[in-house]
């Protein structure tokens, strides 16, 4: 792991443990055996560090999921892929989603915009897939914005209750969400 990655990983670890506000840069420096001045070689401010942590996290999980999903031809297969990978990788793998979602208010507007655009890309892909399925009569007619958020919400809430040490159950979890969702929207 290069120095930069090491810094982001340590910062994320401490943000998860104590929260962004309660984690001074001096503690991050201490734990890495660096000086604070040295840390500033890698970012301009604590806010910029939080942004890099967010961005790295999204690239690893959400964006990877979206890039693969985009290439899936069939709209239902695409949604199955999104539910499964978003749940297993973005939400159930570790506690980072909590930091990434809760601390977004600390980012300045231009950084928040970049992070929010990735979330928007996720939402749009879910909604567009639902529109496609409805147009071809494979699901019933419903409010697609509400249905898209129902799907995203069901999966996202995982971050609040799932025990990350129980990775052997994540497949059953994403299967349950896929099952409820597609029965839920299918024509009877």
Residues near a copy of itself, by CB under 8 A? 19, 21, 101-102, 105, 142-143, 146-147, 149-150, 152-158, 160-161, 172-173, 176-177, 179-181, 183-186, 188
Q: Which is nearer to a copy of itself, 7 or 84 (CB)?
A: 84
Least distance in angstroms from the C-beta of 179 to a copy of itself: 7
Q: Which is nearer to a copy of itself, 32 or 180 (CB)?
A: 180
Least distance in angstroms from the C-beta of 121 to a copy of itself: 15
Cα–Cα dist 84/90, whole Å: 10
Q: What is the DSSP string of 76-139?
A: HHHHHHHHHHIIIIIISS-THHHHHHHGGGGS-HHHHHHHHHHHHHHHHHHHHHHHHHHHTTSS
DSSP-derived secondary structure letter, 15 = H
Q: Which is nearer to a copy of itself, 33 or 105 (CB)?
A: 105
Least distance in angstroms from the C-beta of 47 to a copy of itself: 14
Residues 6+ apart with CB under 8 A from 133: 75, 76, 79, 139, 185
Least distance in angstroms from the C-beta of 1 to a copy of itself: 29
Cα–Cα dist 147/150, whole Å: 5
Q: Which is nearer to a copy of itself, 26 or 143 (CB)?
A: 143
Cα–Cα dist 157/27, whole Å: 30
Least distance in angstroms from the C-beta of 3 to a copy of itself: 30
Q: Which is nearer to a copy of itself, 3 or 142 (CB)?
A: 142
CB 177 within 8 A of CB 83: yes
């Amino acid at each position: 792991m290069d120095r930069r990655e090491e810094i982001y990983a340590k910062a994320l670890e401490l943000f998860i443990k104590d929260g962004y506000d309660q984690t001074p840069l001096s503690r991050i420096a201490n734990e890495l055996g660096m000086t604070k001045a040295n840390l500033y070689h890698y970012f301009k401010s604590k806010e910029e560090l939080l942004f890099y942590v967010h961005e790295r996290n999204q690239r690893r999980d959400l964006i990877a999921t979206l890039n693969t999903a985009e290439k899936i031809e069939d709209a239902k297969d695409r949604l199955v892929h999104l539910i499964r990978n978003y749940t297993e990788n973005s939400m159930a793998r570790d506690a980072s989603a909590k930091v990434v979602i809760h601390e977004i208010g600390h980012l300045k507007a231009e950084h928040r915009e970049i992070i929010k655009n990735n979330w928007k890309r996720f939402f749009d892909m879910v909604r567009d897939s639902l529109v496609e399925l409805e147009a071809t009569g494979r699901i019933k007619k419903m409010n697609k914005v509400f249905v898209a958020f129902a799907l995203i919400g069901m999966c996202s809430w995982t971050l609040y209750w799932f025990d990350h040490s129980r990775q052997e159950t994540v497949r059953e979890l994403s299967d349950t969400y896929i099952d409820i969702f597609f029965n839920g929207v299918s024509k009877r």
